[in-house]
Amino acid sequence: MEKELGNVVAERILPPTEQEISNEIDVKVKKYMRGEGANLEVLKDKKLKGQLSVIEDLYGKSAKAAAKVEKWLMPSEGGYLETEGLEKTWRIKQETISHEVDILSRRNQHDIILPALGPYSIDYTSNGRYMAIAGRKGHLALVDMKDLNLIKEFQVKETVRDVVFLHNELFFAAAQKKYPYIYNREGTELHCLKEHGSVLRLQFLKNHFLLVSINKFGQLHYQDVTTGSMVGSFRTGLGRTDVMQVNPFNGVIATGHSGGSVAMWKPTSSAPLVKMLCHPGPVSALAFHPNGHLMATSGAERKIKLWDLRKFEVLQTLPGHAKTLDFSQKGLLAYGTGSFVQVLGDLSGAQSYTRYMAHSMAKGYQIGKVLFRPYEDVLGIGHSMGWSSILIPGSGEPNFDTWVANPFETSKQRREKEVRSLLDKLPPETISLNPSKIGTLVAVKKKEKKTKKERDAEEEAAVDAAKGITMKKKTKGRNKPTKREKKKHEIIEKAKRPFLHEQIKEEELSRKRSRLSEEVELPKSLQRFAHKKTVT
């Protein structure tokens, strides 16, 4: 008691700044504790109780250390546009921003006009350093975004519909006219993935090393890029679509379809995990919040909907049509239609997205893809006349973990990381709606009983197999026909035996059950006697 009192007093006495800090850390500790500990009071096993309490203490310490690290070693905070008075954030133009920011950031505002080779789609590496661009008419290029240096540019002379980086900038896959291809940084064609067919959209699961594609016929393919094996391939059965996005939280692939439905897939089952009707018209775009709980969809009926994926309910419905959608690392939502880009933000923190910024391109540019650059406050836009990038303050994660993604990676670090990530590669089965449930207890359903027909069929098959056995030719009197016949008979009997055993067991069980039911069905007046009997 005294100690507790002492603690309370100490808390009160803490100076305000420290108090604030401790409060802040407490919040973070709670985050790192990942839920509450078990209620140990219930436990009867003292040994287990002791051990668990020790472990729980360790967890607490670890969380505290992590919270402190976060507090003191990740000091940079993301900024936002703030306005005074009647000014609105969405009225602020890129030009005005460029006047305020430093030179390095200013370099991130640019338009590259390449009118000849059609609408461009873009992709960034996970560390945000490199960008791959793919022009519809066969233009593929790799750009180092740090110094805006063109690493490689080449022309494949056929339609390219999508491009996606594999685990690092060394490899990227491009969905071309007939098949997707994998190229390396030098533009050398490494693989032609014929099994995928003519792919409309590509995605890559970094933790599972799976390349996912959806082709013209609505077939979904999962290919393991480390072994080359096709992990899963199934028809969506929902028609042709080029709306596909991976949920970064759990690796589930979501596809939007013309029927207004969004289906979520995993590589180990041919039926969708979840199928939800999001829009009355076709789904035109789809994006996931990095925390995996929020999904944005846009339909042809000019509505953008935000979904809570834990409850599968609509959180918010916004007016507007989006050809492409993307969430930033900090949760800003960008959508592009025609030549206009708008960024929504959850500014109040109550999961209600409101307008944050807007940007309109030159008239007539058709935006094909918007994509936030990781670890930078930059939004990349691929459009019909090239690609451009604009500044969206507060979109990127300001603190990067070099173990996760390092924008300043050296080649040696990249190699190290490649090996590490290969060692940590997750098997495709781990993809599920809630990956945090892995390892928990799941009651296995009992096998259903075989029907009599099935059993009979099995028995017959077994007997046939036994009959088909060719006998050895034995010598010295053991090859007599009588003996052979006997042996044959024996073999058949042997094959039958397990089935008979099973039958007997079942019969016994049913008999027991019937007995039990008889006991239960005693008249009420007699029941107590029966009960007594069993007691004594």
**Closer by beta carbon to another protein, 280 or else 498:** 280
Q: Which two tokens stand for residue 216?
A: 């013209």
> CB-wise, 269 or 354, nearer to another protein?
269
Single out the segment in contact with another protein by CB under 8 A; choices: 15-23, 279-287, 388-396, 493-501.
279-287
Query: In this chain, which of 213, 247, 337, 388 binds another protein, going by CB under 8 A?
Result: 337
CB 399 within 8 A of CB 76: yes
Q: Which of 272, 380, 382, 386 binds another protein (CB under 8 A)?
A: 272
Closest distance between another protein and the C-beta of residue 181, in Å? 16
Give the distance from CA 522 to its chain's centroid. Answer: 57
Question: How many angstroms separate the Cα of 315 from the Cα of each of 261, 351, 419?
Answer: 17, 8, 41
Residue type, 62: S
Stretch that binds another protein, among 102-110, 130-138, 405-413, 486-494 (CB under 8 A): 130-138
Residue whose pair of structure tokens reads 């459009």 in the numeric block? 383
Q: What does the alpha-carbon distance between residue 160 and residue 54 come to, in Å, rounded to a whole number? A: 57
| Residue from the set 109, 159, 184, 316 that interacts with another protein by CB under 8 A | 159
Shortest distance in whole angstroms from residue 484 CB to another protein: 29
**Each residue of 56-79: b (16+ CB within 10 Å) or e?**
eeeeeeebbeebeebeeeeeeebe
Distance CA 143, CA 129 (A): 9
As beta bridge partners, residue 313 has 308
| Residues that contact another protein, how many (by CB under 8 A) | 113
Q: Which of 8, 27, 38, 504 binds another protein (CB under 8 A)?
A: 38
Q: How far is the CB of 465 from another protein (least distance, A)?
A: 26
The residue type found at 463 is V
Among 30, 31, 93, 157, contact with another protein (rule: CB under 8 A):
157
- Contact, 190 vs 225, CB < 8 A? no
| Three-state DSSP class for residue 411 | helix
Nearer to another protein, 69 or 422 (CB): 69
Q: What are phi and psi of 395, to 5 degrees?
A: -90, -35
Does residue 407 interact with another protein by CB under 8 A? no
Cβ-based neighbours of 297, under 8 Å, separated by 6 or more: 256, 262, 278, 279, 283, 285, 286, 304, 305, 307, 325
Cα Rg of the chain (Å, integer): 32
Judged by CB under 8 A, which of 109, 155, 184, 207 binds another protein? 155
Cβ proximity of 385 and 133 under 8 Å: no
Q: Which residue has the tokens 């593929």?
A: 140
Report d(CA 165, CA 373) in Å as an integer.
Answer: 13
The answer to the question of residue 240 lying near another protein (CB under 8 A) is yes
Q: Which of 108, 245, 255, 339 binds another protein (CB under 8 A)?
A: 339
Residue with Cβ nearer another protein (363 or 476): 363
Site for another protein in 66-125 (CB under 8 A): 66, 69, 90, 116-119
Q: How far apart are CA 524 and CA 419, in angstroms?
A: 73
Rank residues 144 and 301 by Cβ distance to another protein and give the closer one. Answer: 301
Q: Which CB sits closer to another protein, 171 or 387?
A: 387
Q: Which of 98, 268, 316, 351 binds another protein (CB under 8 A)?
A: 268
Options 134-142, 145-153, 489-497, 519-527: segment touching another protein (CB under 8 A)? 134-142
Q: Assess 239 for contact with another protein (CB under 8 A).
A: yes
> Could you tell me which stretch among 212-220, 389-397, 456-464, 515-523 binds another protein (CB under 8 A)?
212-220
In the range 409-438, which residues lie near another protein by CB under 8 A? 424, 428-430, 432, 436-438
* Stretch of residues binding another protein (CB under 8 A), selected from 333-341, 469-477, 479-487, 493-501: 333-341
DSSP 196: G
- Decide: is 520 part of the binding site for another protein (CB under 8 A): no
Residue span binding another protein (CB under 8 A) among the ranges 46-54, 373-381, 501-509, 519-527? 46-54
Binding flag, residue 62, another protein (CB under 8 A) = yes
In the complex, minimum distance from the CB of residue 407 to another protein, in angstroms, rounded to a whole number: 19
C-beta neighbour count of 315 within 10 angstroms: 17
